[in-house]
Amino acid sequence: MGEILGVGITHYPSLLGPPDRYANLLRRCLESPLIPDEMKQPSSWPAPMQDEWNNEVERAHEHQARHRDAFRKVRAAIDDFNPDVVIVFGDDQYENFTEDIIPPFNIYCMDEIPTQAFYKQPDNFLGVDSDYQVNYKGAGKLAQTLASELIERGFPISYSYKNLHFEHGLTHAFANGLTFLDWDQKGFPYPIIPIQVNCYGRDVVSSQGGTGHIFDTRADAERDAFTDYRGPVGPTPETCYKLGKMIQEIMSERPERVVILASSGWSHAFLTEKHSWLYPDREFDEARVGQLRAGEQAKWATLTNDEIDDAGDAEFKNWICLAGAMEGRQAEVVEYLDTWIFNSEKCWALFPSGGKNGN
């Protein structure tokens, strides 16, 4: 019977670059014509947000240091566990899931995944060229088996043998997370099975997987009736939880040592309309991390898509998949970075192999 280690991390893209640019996404959002003029003035922001903004560089360096230390602790736990395979839940932001097909989930069956994590980041923390490439190992045959087992057990899931559109290997949710897990450039030798989640759901096309929704000022007559408006919802939290639980059941019956990993930030400022797309829903995320610390992550399955969208917490669905796989286990919260100006709350957690609530 295989052992399973649960891991949760972030993949915040700005952390690939220098700290003095961590708040550039906020600066970009401030250029949106949809943001009320008064909210473009820092004097209108909540006092703690103003304080963070006024001390941006100092807070950014602290953010980076805590981020780096959390990843080193998580990587040490993975190395100590020495897995045969790492199953990764990551979102797709208009990378492979575009107008031609948008599945709820997709398993990638590959043995080699050459990846350029820094293709948009010539000024990165490793100091490498933007075309720097890492050849990650996949576990293609095991991915095929996992897909078959899920289908046989009543969970229809799509799979593929190559990227549909994205030309740089692993998409950012996977590439960034693995890059951060290898902060000290030791290499990442463990084969991976990427499972892409349609976290962005009804907004994945209209927002172009990012901030497109807050810069679109076209009149209705100029818009496409389908792709320029919100589309069908993504998978529900209950479905995400069920997928994680079924994967845990399947892998527990096999001999491999398995890491099941979620890669995402939590509430995103640019998705949080009620805050004029400027800062995340800190209260929603604080409630979730409280549940995580209490071993109550099963409650995440009862959230709704509307609650997730209201909180700007689309990518949290990756963690709900992880929660399903870790049903009954007590997490160790390695680090929790809350923020006003660096776009998203960030959490790192470990679910020790065999750990149960109260143990």
For residue range 247-263, list pLDDT tens digits in order: 999 999 999 999 999 99
pLDDT category of residue 189 using cuts at 50, 70 and 90: very high
Beta bridge partners of 349: 8, 333
d(CA 353, CA 359): 11
pLDDT tens digit sequence for 132-176: 999 999 999 999 999 999 999 999 999 999 999 999 999 999 999
Cα separation values, 333 from 80, 98, 208, 330, Å: 18, 34, 32, 10
Could you tell me the pTM of the whole model? 0.96
Q: Which helix (H) or strand (E) holds 65?
A: helix 56-81
Q: Is the pLDDT of residue 357 over 70?
A: no
CA–CA distance from 223 to each of 34, 46, 178, 204 (Å)? 17, 35, 38, 16
**pLDDT over 80 (residue 359):** no
CB neighbourhood size of 193 (10 A): 23
Residue the block writes with tokens 């990993």: 261
Domain boundaries, the chain: 4-351
Q: What is the average pLDDT value for the chain, to the nearest integer?
A: 94
Report the number of secondary-structure helices (H) and strands (E) in the chain: 9, 10
Alpha carbon distance 269, 157 (integer Å): 31
- Report pLDDT digits (tens) over 64-114: 999 999 999 999 999 999 999 999 999 999 999 999 999 999 999 999 999
What is the per-residue pLDDT across 291-305, written as a single tens digit (0 to 9) for each?
Answer: 999 999 999 999 999
pLDDT tens digits, 309-320: 999 999 999 999
CATH architecture of 4-351: 3-Layer(aba) Sandwich (3.40)
For 321, the enclosing helix (H) or strand (E) is helix 316-325
Q: Compute the distance between CA of residue 288 and CA of residue 294 in angstroms, rounded to an integer.
A: 10
